[in-house]
Homo-oligomer: A and B are copies of this chain.
């Protein structure tokens, strides 16, 4: 949670005038987003989210991220569209930083998703995979298996030990296998790659919005489903697997897009990879985050527990 930059009311009012959205009536910095600052904006014509890209997100990637939102929204997916300014630009610069005005969508993120909610999210994820197939732009996934390995190396054994005694051994045990066995050919599409509950807005059991597409990239559709499975089917610390929720997620997905046999067979290794991916970035962030940062650090071990569960259970998780 964070608002990294102070924007004066006078600056905000001036910025809003570049868009055809009426006059500024309210602006509240909101405690969401790790790599950007966000304001909930109200104008005489509606509500919007103003996002300022603070770090990690390259301006060069914004045409992909914001264009994808517009593409998906036009195809009826529950994602916020980008509000373009009077000159048609999807983002502007303020104080040297890129900002985008994004449609506000109602809904709240479930803390303990029910199977009915997981089912709806599976279906919504499939809708993104189908609708994005003809989106022309592309973006390479910069968090693939070799990148996880590089992140662990950057942390170094001493730092990994500081996080947990067992972490380095677990990396040594699982990483070579994942690098070897990672699927080479599965159906590819644009994936969200980070569809955790806090990136989904729901009204009851219905998905009202999927947000925060700032890891979106080209990769295996089934990997995205595996990431979502790891994110939705466990208690937060990864100690408690919820089989009905996991099964509902996949069933919901398959109401729109049936998994091929190759994809189904790959799910166990993809899920292990998903768990390692978040363990790796959390370990790196753990070390990289100064003690006085505004952001709470997330425990890498929450995903090590998922990894061990997926590795032990194999295809029994998905059958």
Contacts and interface: CB of A to CB of B under 8 A. Distances in A.
A26 B112 contact: no
Interface residues of A, number: 33
Interface stretch (A7-15, A145-153, A271-279): A7-15
Nearest to A37: B31
A107 interface: yes
A30 B24 contact: no
Interface in A16-32: 24-32
A116 interface: no
Contacts of A112: 8, 10
Contacts of A294: 294
Given A29-B1, A30-B28, A31-B30, A8 B111 contact: yes
- Number of this chain's copies in the assembly equals 2
A158 interface: no
Interface of A: 1-3, 8-13, 24-32, 40, 42, 106-112, 201-203, 291-292, 294
25 contacts: A1-B29, A1-B31, A3-B31, A8-B111, A8-B112, A9-B108, A9-B109, A9-B202, A10-B110, A10-B111, A10-B112, A11-B111, A13-B108, A25-B106, A25-B203, A26-B106, A26-B107, A26-B201, A28-B28, A30-B40, A31-B31, A40-B40, A42-B106, A292-B292, A294-B294
